[in-house]
């Protein structure tokens, strides 16, 4: 099944990494959710993308400077639209409570160092291994994941597929390679597939780029517009 993964939720339509955005993504036909994981001062894993709170909340500075109790006070929706005023940040535990049992695909991106153990513990606790892929741009994060868990599915976020990237993935038993859509080439996608890797592209911001990635033969995409991707898939 093609992976139509709502990127930070349907983040073109609702404030990213909030429950509203995740529900919207599933309503729009996504069969999975991509989200970003960071850690609070008191060790709570939360869903957050940026280094700092300022762009997407009414807080300031790094999430790691605050306890989860403090972070829960923030408004994570007003920046996007007054219709979402009062939308809250979401902990990873809350996220798994809401979406783990729905059996949707979960593409989890590690955005902090030393976050692997608490993330893997929660994945185990909620029994969501079969639907989960852990991803990161940081190879060290992925090595740490593999050292703790020999079987969880791993994907490496990179800019462009090449032989070296594929070799590094195989070293840690990663099953998925995640290149940028811009600059993606059919031959590179086929090369990765010939090595048994699943190819999941990111960064397709227009229908033209979605079409390009589909024509290259990718197995899935993270997308801010799951509805537009569903339309492009139907047109194929």
Residue 119 Cβ, how far from ligand G3P at the closest point, in Å?
A: 15
* Residue 109 binding ligand G3P, by CB under 6 A: yes
Binding residues (CB under 5 A) for Ca ion: these are 36, 109
Nearer to Ca ion, 113 or 167 (CB): 113
- Dist. CA 122–CA 173, nearest whole Å: 22
Neighbours of 32 (CB within 10 A): 24
User: What angle in degrees, to the nearest 10, is found between the helix axes of 186-194 and 163-171?
Assistant: 30
- Dist. CA 234–CA 183, nearest whole Å: 24
Residues 139-158 that bind ligand G3P (CB under 6 A): 157
Nearer to ligand G3P, 48 or 126 (CB): 48
Could you tell me the end-to-end alpha-carbon distance of the chain, in angstroms, rounded to an integer?
14
Q: What is the 8-class DSSP label of residue 203?
A: -
| Residues 221/4, Cβ–Cβ less than 8 Å | yes
Residue 5 Cβ, how far from ligand G3P at the closest point, in Å?
A: 7
* Residue 202 binding ligand G3P, by CB under 6 A: yes
Q: Which residues contact 194 (CB under 8 A, 6 or more apart)?
A: none
Residues 44-83 that bind ligand G3P (CB under 6 A): 49
| Residues 92/47, Cβ–Cβ less than 8 Å | yes
Residue 111 Cβ, how far from Ca ion at the closest point, in Å?
A: 7
156 binds, among Ca ion, ligand G3P, none (CB under 5 to 8 A by kind): none
202 binds, among ligand G3P, Ca ion, none (CB under 5 to 8 A by kind): ligand G3P
Find, among 38, 48, 61, 44, the residue nearest to 9 by Cα. Answer: 48
Residue 69 Cβ, how far from Ca ion at the closest point, in Å?
A: 25
* Residue 92 binding ligand G3P, by CB under 6 A: no
Residues 20-49 that bind ligand G3P (CB under 6 A): 34, 36, 49
Residue 93 Cβ, how far from Ca ion at the closest point, in Å?
A: 19
Residue 43 Cβ, how far from ligand G3P at the closest point, in Å?
A: 22
| Residues 199/177, Cβ–Cβ less than 8 Å | yes
**Residues interacting with ligand G3P, by CB under 6 A?**
7, 34, 36, 49, 109, 157, 178, 202, 222
């Amino acid at each position: 099944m093609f992976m139509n993964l709502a990127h930070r939720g349907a983040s073109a339509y609702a404030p990213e990494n909030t429950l509203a955005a995740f529900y919207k993504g599933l309503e729009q036909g996504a069969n999975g959710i991509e989200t970003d994981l960071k850690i609070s001062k008191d060790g709570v894993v939360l869903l957050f993308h940026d280094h700092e709170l300022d762009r997407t909340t009414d807080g300031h500075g790094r999430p790691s400077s605050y306890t989860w109790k403090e972070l829960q006070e923030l408004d994570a929706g007003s920046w996007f639209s007054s219709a979402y005023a009062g939308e809250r940040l979401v902990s990873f535990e809350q996220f798994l409570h809401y979406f783990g049992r729905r059996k949707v695909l979960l593409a989890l991106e590690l955005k902090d160092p030393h976050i692997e153990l608490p993330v893997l513990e929660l994945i185990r606790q909620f029994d969501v291994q079969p639907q989960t892929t852990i991803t990161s741009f940081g190879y060290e994060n992925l090595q740490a994941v593999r050292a703790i868990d020999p079987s969880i599915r791993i994907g490496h976020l990179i800019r462009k597929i090449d032989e070296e990237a594929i070799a590094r993935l195989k070293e840690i038993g990663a099953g998925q390679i995640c290149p940028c859509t811009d600059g993606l080439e059919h031959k590179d996608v086929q090369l990765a597939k010939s090595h048994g890797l699943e190819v999941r592209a990111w960064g397709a911001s227009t229908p033209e780029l979605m079409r390009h990635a589909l024509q290259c033969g990718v197995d899935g995409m993270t997308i801010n517009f799951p509805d537009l991707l569903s339309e492009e898939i139907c047109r194929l």
